[in-house]
Structure formats: structure tokens, C-alpha cells
Chain A
Amino acid sequence: MIPAAFEYARASSVEEAAKLLNKYGEDAKVLAGGHSLIPLMRLRLAQPKALVDINGIKGLDHIKAEGSKLHIGALTRHVTIQNSAVVKDKLPILAEVAGEIGDNQVRNMGTIGGVVAHADAAGDYPTIALMLDAEIVTNQRTIAAKDFFKDLFTTPLAADEIVIEVVFPVANGPHKYIKFRRRLFDWAIVGAAAQKMNGGWRIGLTNVGPTPVRATAVEEALHKGAKPEEAAQHASDGLNPSGDLRASPEYKKHLARVLTKRAIEQAK
């Protein structure tokens, strides 16, 4: 299928991109990896009037460890994160998550900034960002992950606001992300992440609601000394996932518990 016509502009700097977005207004979209946007455009479910291509902006694909922080440029492709020695050293769970997104072709194009800005409930990075208290840095401000993923496909980004980088804390203790899906390249039906950090656990869930979820009840139970199996029973506390063709709400809640247990047990 064929996308509707649009105007196209290449930005060579963040400032230029912002200017272009300002010019085109609400109907403009940022084009990064394009792997969420272009299929929607081909189905004509998205018909932006203009695309601002930010792929040519230099210096947005950095991976830098600074002190206790890991800075990842918005245009960093999944494949780069997956293979990065720095990420593997400082935040190995993120490299593993990157390696589980889509397929080789998708990972060669898709960017972390694109996934974060798209705010799909089935996105994997948002879960990690949320549970680790990452920060999303834009051309205008810095937004805490907990304030960023507001609703399905909904973020506080203004029309001319562009994600510049995502800043994670360094965490290289035991960790595990389990992405439960039918086929290797599918989106998560449910995902569960466990990361040991600062002596405690961080637990995150993917695709169990309109936004990523941090399972604080599980974290607290673990903190109080509960066994993984007991603590994981709280993974579905307060969840109200919507059902879809792949899973009923009840099954998603069940998976949240089972996968959380397994993620904690398998973390290393």
C-alpha cells in the first residue's frame, strides 16, 4: 500500500528540525527510524502533512558513560545499542532488550529516540526507562521517565520538541528481560524486566496497560524479603490490561506474575 503525499524536509541540526516542525505545525512528524511511522503511513492510518527527517543530524547517536549515568543519543540504532561494549558493560539489560526488538532489518533502522517518543505500550525501552528512573532529554527540557509515558502513544512532547537523548543510570548487576511472544520477531504479548540496583530490585512490565508499568509492589515485597514467587504475585496488582487477539486481560495479568517470577529467578 501507498502512503499519502507529504512534504519532506531534511534537518541538519536540532535547531533546524525544531524550526521545521514549528513551520509545519501539528501535522508534521519526525522521521527517525521510520519503522512505526512508515507502516502506519502505508496503511494510511497516519497521514502527516510533512516529515522532518532528522537522520542527517550529526552527534545524536552517541553512547557515553559519564559517572553513574549512561547517555544514549536519540538516533542510536537498536543494533548499535545491542552491540555496544559500553552498554554491555554499564547497562547490559538495555543491550539485551535492544537485541530482542524486531529483527535485524528493524534493528538496523530503528532508534531509541523513536521508540521512546512513539510511546507504544508494547515498546521495550520505555519499560526499562521507567523502572530505572531514566530521563528523557529534549531540545527544550529534561523529563523524568515517570512523567513522560502519559498514555498510549501519548507523551508531554510539544509539536516542536525533539528527543535528544535518553539518560539511564548505570546498572550492571543481575538482570533479566523476558519478552513473551509467539514469534521471534513479534512485539511482546507481555514483557517483564528485573534489575538489581543499589541493593534493591527494579521490576518493570511491558504491554500490560497503556503505558509501561513499574511493579513497585513487587519491588517492595522483595525488599521485605519475600521469595521471588511470592513477590511476583503482586506483579498484577492494580493492572487493568486490555485484551487483544493474542491475549485476554486475565492471561496478561497471569503472565505478568509468571514472567516477573522468572525474570527475578533468572536474573544474573
Chain B
Amino acid sequence: MAVTTMVGAKIHRREDPKLITGHGSYVDDMQLTGMVHMAVVRSAQAHAKIVSVDLTAASKAPGVVAVYTARDFKKVISGGLPVTESLIADKKQTPNQFPIAESEAVYFGEPIAVVLAESRYQAADCAELVQVEYESLPVLVDFEKALEKGSPTAHTGAPDNVAWDVNFNGGDLEAAFKESEVTVKERIIQQRVFPISMEPRAVLANYVPFGNQLTVWTSSQVPHFIRLFLCIGLGMPESQIRVVAPDVGGGFGSKLRPYPEEYLAAAASKLSGRPVKWIEGRTENLQATSHGRGHIFDIEVGAKRDGTLLALKITMLSDLGAYIGVFGALQSSLAMLLSPGCYKWKAVHGRAIGVLTNKMSTDPYRGAGRPEAAHLVERAVDLVAQELKLDPADVRAKNFAEDFPFTSILGMVYDSGEYQKSLDKAKEIVGYKALRQKQADLRKQGKYLGIGLSTYVEICGVGPSAATAHVSGSLALVESSVVRVHPTGSVTVAVGTHSHGQGHATTFAQIAADALGLPYANIEIREGDTGDTPFGYGSYGSRSLPVGGVSINRSCQKVVDKAKKIAAHMLEAADEDVVFDQGQFYVKGSPDKRKAMGEVAFAAYGPGLPEGMEQGLEAVTYFDPPNFTWPFGAHICVVEVDPETGEVDIQKYVAVDDCGNIINPMIVDGQIHGGVAQGIGQALFEEAVHDPETGALRTGTLLDYSIPGIGEIPNLQLDRTITPSPTNELGVKGVGEAGTIAASAAVINAIVDALSPFGIKHVDMPASPDRLWKQIKQAREHSNGGKEARK
């Protein structure tokens, strides 16, 4: 029987038929009787006192149902948006964010008023009629300047703009630098970017006064979080709020927090007595959905002449925006904690300073701190290799952590790894040795080929409550599951995660089918609806499989344990003599006499169970992992840079990833593809640009903000190694962000490698033709008209 071979198989996704035929159910696809449309009037200034909000004209607009400002919302919303500590417990200041501004707007696009109208067209017209009178205040765009003494503040009356200033230290830095024979310094910019899920955000809220019931459909990665925080903000118990995240068109971290509009739509429904729909436009999405990255790293690296890495000193400034993102501090803490990468160091000291500015908040974006860490440490290794004229592959080989579990210099315990193996495999696939020769030959012809390595390690499986609870505001980031085997052997698995492209309905069913020994087709996965799933923490941080998937597996094991007792009773054998194998229970030594799981399921609801046993066949698990999981891999990017125009042509991209055991290889590859594309996007194309004076977005639409299209992402060559995680019984690690974490460093290292004959040591992102041309030109001017380069 094929029932036990689901894990590891390429199973086509069961979520696809509806999506490829246009029958998906995204929030904007839903209509409710009596529904009104909400439009948000947003601040047209990045920092201003709100002198007055004139609603006269708007209130008379055709189709208008209501116009609300902060004053109205204060009647139904209390407190502000949550902010987790995220490993930064000693914050200096955390400005409270009420979902809508009342007297001071602190970022461009902050909500100031809300209009409700009968149609979305009327709502848009009505919003234009709201007159806001502003009194401009100083705008903070440059976050380095915002740290200067005497700088104006992002919030009136704040002492300064420092949100946090913390150290992450491991080892004796002074001694490690003393031992170093070379040191290199560099400034590495992580530009602000937009996450850009193809579906912008969307909310539909329906408050029914009779019975005090609120249902909110929202395009979110975390329906249970949203319910929890709405319940606090609106003063309603969970039992009266149902939050549904239906089909969600991508998230990439930008939908893992509650947003003002979720509060506002829910409150507006309560105030107006009508179902309220809000659909974010793309332009709005760029203003009002969290941004990613946004840091400056100053690093200093010490090493021995033979390439042994010794010391790493990091100062990290983070541009937080006006309000600390709900998980905004996570980026800083993960960037710091992962900065040693997969290497042995004598000392790593980091200082992270969070800076408030007049911009939208930064919050997790695919990788959330790990891309930053990988980028800085992979650049650091290449800087050392370049300085010492060593092959960057050799420098990596010399410094890889080898014995697992490995405790990094910052005290993180890496569960398992084989870093050299994945690098060797990637080198073999790309033809590393031959490429180096080709590079040398091409240089003689004035052609600039570059080979960039990125050997990353990352952290998944968020997270063990022992490590996360004290920094997440007492949230134990466990994951829940309920497995219910029905009498005829069909199964409902309800889980607290959420799938927005990851294919959980398929992979989770694969796990349950194997664990229960029932046909895959019998298994139904439920997630995204707080009404029929247990409280769970949602999907982000590549956690769904290593926490949620393992939780499902455990619930299945509990079900099997009970079923075994029933089977033993049916087979008139002792529990311990019964074997469960491929969906069949039989007495040890006599496999002919057997009971299938389906039969046992039916019996579980009938009479004649073992004494004292209740009917039913179901189990609940809240899985609290003992450790994080640590995926890793080696990516190699090959580029050619046109020295005349600065254009970068990616000629080859090889990715060898290790995410532990694999449930569905097709889905794993898909995650890597998409992740790498986003990393390439950041490396070459993307940057959220604010006007330095006004703080308005200069990249305000997808016309100005370039995400890569189908012509810009090369074919990616993937392979893998498999090093199971010892942290969980499935041996899985997680793969949702790996591609993004690895890719930007691979691309930038390749570009720097290509341009190293000019003496170029570092290139910032996005590596646009304009930027590279300028750098090449300057380098040529410095190094004798480029003659150096052509040697």
C-alpha cells in the first residue's frame, strides 16, 4: 500500500485547482449584504501637527454612510498597537500607536480619518473631500542624523530618537583583535525595501450587535494574533470574535502583525452597524504596509594571514520608522544573533541602536534579520579573502563550524550542519575551478566575470518558549494542532498556522497520512479560521513545518496510541504486543490477523471499548520545541558586469540548500526559487526611497519601485543536502526564507569579485547600473585610468 510513502513525495498541491480556475477566495472576493466600503484618509505630511479635520464636504458626499476620526474611534478602541520586545527587553522608549492619528501625524500615510460609503468608488470620492489642515513639523528621514545631539525628534516632546541601544557580546574582542594580523573595515547598507505581496492587504469586518459577534476576514498570516489583539483593543472576549484569513495572496512577513486598518474596519462596523470592507490599493500598500530591512552596519573584521577569522565588531543602526513595528525589534536581534554565521570566531561584539524616524515602521520581511546577518558576515569573509588574496571558498572552509551541536560565539546552539559538504556540492555543480580559470582568461579580454559565494546558516522553528517567552511579551511561540479521526476514517486536522502560498494543505496532509496510516485523500487540513482551529501563532519565520508540522505529527501519534489500545482490545491482545505498521494493527508475530486504522476508527465511536475508555479518536498538541532549527546551504552566483554601463548580467545561480528532511521536494524547491528571487530583487533592483526633505515616498508606485519581472530572474539550479534536525522527530528544519537569506550576499559578492580588478571592495544595494558605473569610474580615476584593471 502506498499510504506510508507520502512524506518525501512530490505530491501536487491540493490547493491549486481552485486557484488556477479563478475560484480562490481572497477577501475582496467576498460580499456581504449591507456591506459598505471604507477608504482611509492618510497624512499627506510625514510629520505635522493636525490643526483641524474638516468633514463638512465629505459628510455630504453622494453615498456617504459615515466619516470618522480618532475622536470617534476612541469610544470603541482602547490602548494601542502591540509591540513585542523581541529579544530587546531594555527599550529606551516605545511610542504608543493608536490606530489613527489625532493631534500629530508622524509618518506619510498615517491614517487621519476614515470614510464609509455605499460603493468603493463613492468611498474614494468622499475621502478626497476630507480637508486636513496641517502645521508642518521637522521631518526625520536620515536616521544617522536623527541620532545627532540636538536633532529634532520624530515625536513631539520625545527626549531623543533612540528606541533601544543594546549590546550582543561574545568572547574577548580586544584580545581577538590583538591576535589579528589583518583588519578590514566596511560600511554595509541594508536599504529599506517593500515586501510587496501581490495581494495587498484587505479587511472585511462584520459586527452583529445582537449577540455581540464580530467576524473579521483579513489578508493575514496570523489570524489568531489578530483575534487576540482585536479582543484587547475592542474590549471583546475571544469567544465573540472570529478572525478568518481566507486565501491570502502572499505575505513575506508584511502580514504577520495587526494593522491600524484591522482595528479601524472592525470598529467602524461596530460604530456604523454595517459590514465594512477595506481593500488596500498598491500605492497605499507602499505607504501603509510595513517596510523591510533599513539598517546601516559598520563592521570591523580581524583575521590571521592564513584566513583564520578571529574578531568581528558590528555597529548596527536601524531605521525603525515612527513607531516600532510589532515585531520590529526582531530584525535587530536576529541580525545580531546570527552575525557569526556558520563560522568559528574568537569574539563577536555587536551594538544595535534602534532609531525613530518619520516613516512607516519596519517589520519583518522574508528573513527578518537573517538576510542582514548573512549579508554582513558573508561580505566580511569576502573582505578578508580579498585583503589576503585568498580564495573565498578556502577562507570559508578554514572557518566552518564542524562539531554539532555547535555553540556559536554568541551562545546560539546550532542543531546540525555539514557546511563544507553543501559548499563542495555547490562548487561542483557550478564548476568552480574551471570558472576561476575562465574568469582569469576573460579579465585579459577586459571582461569582468564574478563568482560570489554565500554559505549561510539561519534560524527557524520559532520557537522554544524558554527562549522566546521573556522577549515576546509572554507569548510562547508554540504551535497547536487538533487531529480528529472520524468514524469512517476521514480525518480533520486543524492547525494554528496559516498558508499563503506554502502549500500546507498538501504537506501537512502528507505528514498526517503517514503518521496515521490512512490514505492521503482522507486527510483534510483546516487553518486560518479561529472559529475552527485551536489558538496558534501563525506562519512566519519558516516555522510552520518545524513547529506546526511536528505538532500535527505528535497529535497523530497520540491518536495512534489510543487506536492501538482499541485494536489490542479488538484483537484480544495486550497493548504492548500490538504492532502498528502502515496503517495496520496486528499482534507481534501474527501479521495475518489485523485491524486497519479505518476499522479501529469506526470501533472508537462504538460500544465495547476497553474498560474506562471514552469514545472518540482525537488528540490535541501544543508543541513547544526544545530548540530552534538551523537550516543552511551554499549559494553561488556568477555574474558578468559591463564596465562601460555598470549593467549586471546573472549568468548562473546555483543553490544547494539543507533544510533537513523533506516532506515535498516540489514545494521546497518552489520556496527556494521565490526566496532567491526576492534576494536578487534586493541586491539589484529594490529600494524604498523617501524624499529627504518631505519624507514623502519617491518610490510611490510599482512604476517607480522595481520588483524583478520574469526577464530578470535567471533559471536557478537547485540541489540539496539533507542533514536531519535532531530537534524534532520529523528531522525537519524549515525552508520559507532560506533563499532570500542567502541570495543578496551571493549576488553582491559576485559583483565585487567581478570588479575587484578595479580595486573595488564593496558595493551597496541595490547594485544599479548607475551606482556601479560611478564606482568603476571613481576606481579608475584612482587607479591609473583602469590600466591596473587590465593587467
Binding site for B on A (CB under 8 A): 1-2, 4-5, 39, 43-44, 180, 182-186, 189, 245-248, 251, 254-255, 258
B709 near A185 with CB under 8 A, answer yes
Known contacts A2-B120, A245-B689: does B706 contact A183 (CB below 8 Å)? yes
A184 near B709 with CB under 8 A, answer yes
Please, which residue of chain B has its CB at the minimum distance from the CB of A44? Answer: B128
Closest Cβ–Cβ distance, residue A39 to chain B (whole Å): 8
B645 near A43 with CB under 8 A, answer no
B770 at the interface (CB under 8 A from A): yes
B701 at the interface (CB under 8 A from A): yes
A186 near B121 with CB under 8 A, answer no
Please, which residue of chain A has its CB at the minimum distance from the CB of B774? Answer: A251
16 further A-B contacts with Cβ under 8 Å, apart from A182-B706, A185-B711, A254-B773, are A1-B282, A4-B125, A4-B128, A5-B125, A43-B283, A180-B645, A180-B769, A182-B685, A182-B769, A183-B708, A184-B711, A245-B698, A245-B704, A246-B768, A247-B769, A251-B774
Give bound CA distance, A1 to B709, whole Å.
Answer: 22
Give bound CA distance, A183 to B281, whole Å.
Answer: 23
Number of B positions contacting A (CB below 8 A): 29
B768 near A1 with CB under 8 A, answer no
Name 25 A/B residue pairs within 8 A (Cβ), A-sorted: A1-B281, A1-B282, A1-B284, A4-B125, A4-B128, A43-B283, A180-B645, A180-B769, A182-B706, A182-B712, A183-B709, A183-B712, A184-B711, A184-B712, A185-B709, A185-B711, A189-B769, A245-B689, A245-B704, A246-B768, A246-B770, A248-B770, A251-B770, A251-B774, A254-B773
Closest Cβ–Cβ distance, residue B58 to chain A (whole Å): 15
A2 near B708 with CB under 8 A, answer no
CB-defined contacts of B718 to chain A, threshold 8 Å:
none
CB-defined contacts of A1 to chain B, threshold 8 Å:
124, 281-284
CB-defined contacts of B174 to chain A, threshold 8 Å:
none
Closest Cβ–Cβ distance, residue A75 to chain B (whole Å): 25
Give bound CA distance, A185 to B124, whole Å.
Answer: 30
B699 at the interface (CB under 8 A from A): yes
Closest Cβ–Cβ distance, residue B399 to chain A (whole Å): 36
CB-defined contacts of A247 to chain B, threshold 8 Å:
769-770
CB-defined contacts of A2 to chain B, threshold 8 Å:
120-121, 124
Give bound CA distance, A43 to B703, whole Å.
Answer: 12
User: Looking at chain A's contact residues, is the secondary structure mostly helix, strand, loop, or mixed?
Assistant: loop
B90 at the interface (CB under 8 A from A): no
Give bound CA distance, A166 to B103, whole Å.
Answer: 56
B644 at the interface (CB under 8 A from A): yes
B773 near A251 with CB under 8 A, answer yes
Quick one: CB contact mask for B764-776 with A, threshold 8 Å, 1 for yes?
Answer: 0000111001100
Please, which residue of chain A has its CB at the minimum distance from the CB of B701? Answer: A43
Closest Cβ–Cβ distance, residue A250 to chain B (whole Å): 8
In the complex, chain B residues 264-296 whose Cβ is within 8 Å of any chain A Cβ: 281-284
B711 near A183 with CB under 8 A, answer yes
Closest Cβ–Cβ distance, residue B770 to chain A (whole Å): 5
A255 near B645 with CB under 8 A, answer yes
Closest Cβ–Cβ distance, residue B765 to chain A (whole Å): 14
Closest Cβ–Cβ distance, residue B747 to chain A (whole Å): 14
User: Taking each of B128, B698, B769, B774, which has the highest tally of chain A beta carbons within 10 Å of its own beta carbon?
Assistant: B769
User: Taking each of B685, B708, B768, which has the highest tally of chain A beta carbons within 10 Å of its own beta carbon?
Assistant: B768
Give bound CA distance, A4 to B711, whole Å.
Answer: 34
Give bound CA distance, A5 to B122, whole Å.
Answer: 10
Closest Cβ–Cβ distance, residue A244 to chain B (whole Å): 9
Please, which residue of chain B has its CB at the minimum distance from the CB of A255? Answer: B645
User: Taking each of B128, B283, B644, B704, which has the highest tally of chain A beta carbons within 10 Å of its own beta carbon?
Assistant: B644
CB-defined contacts of A245 to chain B, threshold 8 Å:
689, 698-699, 704
CB-defined contacts of A5 to chain B, threshold 8 Å:
125
Closest Cβ–Cβ distance, residue B29 to chain A (whole Å): 18
Closest Cβ–Cβ distance, residue B308 to chain A (whole Å): 40
Quick one: CB contact mask for B283-326 with A, threshold 8 Å, 1 for yes?
Answer: 11000000000000000000000000000000000000000000
The 10 closest A-B pairs by CB, nearest first: A184-B711, A2-B124, A1-B281, A251-B770, A247-B770, A183-B709, A258-B644, A2-B121, A183-B712, A182-B706
Closest Cβ–Cβ distance, residue A106 to chain B (whole Å): 12
CB-defined contacts of B685 to chain A, threshold 8 Å:
182-183
Give bound CA distance, A234 to B710, whole Å.
Answer: 36
User: Taking each of A183, A184, A247, which has the highest tally of chain B beta carbons within 10 Å of its own beta carbon?
Assistant: A183
User: Taking each of A186, A248, A251, A258, which has the highest tally of chain B beta carbons within 10 Å of its own beta carbon?
Assistant: A251
Give bound CA distance, A105 to B121, whole Å.
Answer: 25
Please, which residue of chain B has its CB at the minimum distance from the CB of A5? Answer: B125
Please, which residue of chain A has its CB at the minimum distance from the CB of B684? Answer: A182
Please, which residue of chain B has its CB at the minimum distance from the CB of A248? Answer: B770
Closest Cβ–Cβ distance, residue B685 to chain A (whole Å): 6
Please, which residue of chain A has its CB at the minimum distance from the CB of B704? Answer: A245
Give bound CA distance, A251 to B777, whole Å.
Answer: 11
CB-defined contacts of B283 to chain A, threshold 8 Å:
1, 43
In the complex, chain B residues 654-705 whose Cβ is within 8 Å of any chain A Cβ: 685, 689, 698-699, 701, 703-704
Give bound CA distance, A96 to B768, whole Å.
Answer: 26
CB-defined contacts of B120 to chain A, threshold 8 Å:
2
In the complex, chain B residues 170-218 whose Cβ is within 8 Å of any chain A Cβ: none
CB-defined contacts of A248 to chain B, threshold 8 Å:
770, 774
Closest Cβ–Cβ distance, residue A202 to chain B (whole Å): 23
Closest Cβ–Cβ distance, residue B522 to chain A (whole Å): 43
CB-defined contacts of A4 to chain B, threshold 8 Å:
125, 128
Closest Cβ–Cβ distance, residue B273 to chain A (whole Å): 25
Partner of B645, one of A183, A185, A186, A258: A258
Closest Cβ–Cβ distance, residue A228 to chain B (whole Å): 14
CB-defined contacts of A254 to chain B, threshold 8 Å:
773
Give bound CA distance, A246 to B281, whole Å.
Answer: 24
In the complex, chain B residues 707-725 whose Cβ is within 8 Å of any chain A Cβ: 708-712
CB-defined contacts of B125 to chain A, threshold 8 Å:
4-5
Please, which residue of chain B has its CB at the minimum distance from the CB of A252? Answer: B770
Give bound CA distance, A44 to B39, whole Å.
Answer: 15
Give bound CA distance, A208 to B392, whole Å.
Answer: 41
CB-defined contacts of B769 to chain A, threshold 8 Å:
180, 182, 189, 247, 251
Please, which residue of chain A has its CB at the minimum distance from the CB of B777? Answer: A254
CB-defined contacts of A185 to chain B, threshold 8 Å:
709, 711
Please, which residue of chain B has its CB at the minimum distance from the CB of A250? Answer: B774
Please, which residue of chain B has its CB at the minimum distance from the CB of A1? Answer: B281
Please, which residue of chain A has its CB at the minimum distance from the CB of B645? Answer: A258
Give bound CA distance, A166 to B650, whole Å.
Answer: 40
Closest Cβ–Cβ distance, residue B139 to chain A (whole Å): 19
CB-defined contacts of B704 to chain A, threshold 8 Å:
245
Give bound CA distance, A44 to B124, whole Å.
Answer: 10
Give bound CA distance, A39 to B703, whole Å.
Answer: 10
Closest Cβ–Cβ distance, residue A204 to chain B (whole Å): 19
Closest Cβ–Cβ distance, residue B117 to chain A (whole Å): 11
CB-defined contacts of A255 to chain B, threshold 8 Å:
645
Please, which residue of chain A has its CB at the minimum distance from the CB of B709? Answer: A183
Please, which residue of chain A has its CB at the minimum distance from the CB of B685? Answer: A182
Give bound CA distance, A185 to B685, whole Å.
Answer: 14
CB-defined contacts of A44 to chain B, threshold 8 Å:
128
Closest Cβ–Cβ distance, residue A112 to chain B (whole Å): 22
Please, which residue of chain B has its CB at the minimum distance from the CB of A185? Answer: B709
User: Taking each of B125, B701, B703, B770, which has the highest tally of chain A beta carbons within 10 Å of its own beta carbon?
Assistant: B770
